Amino acid sequence: DQQVKQNSPSLSVQEGRISILNCDYTNSMFDYFLWYKKYPAEGPTFLISISSIKDKNEDGRFTVFLNKSAKHLSLHIVPSQPGDSAVYFCAARDGGAGSYQLTFGKGTKLSVIP
Partner 1 sequence: KAGVTQTPRYLIKTRGQQVTLSCSPISGHRSVSWYQQTPGQGLQFLFEYFSETQRNKGNFPGRFSGRQFSNSRSEMNVSTLELGDSALYLCASRQDQGAGEQYFGPGTRLTVT
Q: Would you tell me which residues interact with partner 1 (CB under 8 A)?
A: 31-32, 34, 36, 41-46, 49, 51, 89, 91, 93, 97-107
When the beta carbons of 97 and 113 are compared against partner 1, the nearer one is 97
Pick 49 or 74: Cβ nearer partner 1: 49
Q: From the CB of 14, what's the least distance to partner 1, in Å?
A: 27
**CA nearest neighbour of 11 among 92, 105, 86:** 86
Task: Supply the minimum distance, in Å, between the C-beta of residue 43 and partner 1.
Answer: 4
- Report in angstroms how near the CB of residue 25 gets to partner 1 at its nearest: 14
Closest CA to 26 of 99, 100, 90, 75: 90
Q: At residue 84, what are phi and psi to the nearest 5 degrees?
A: -80, -10
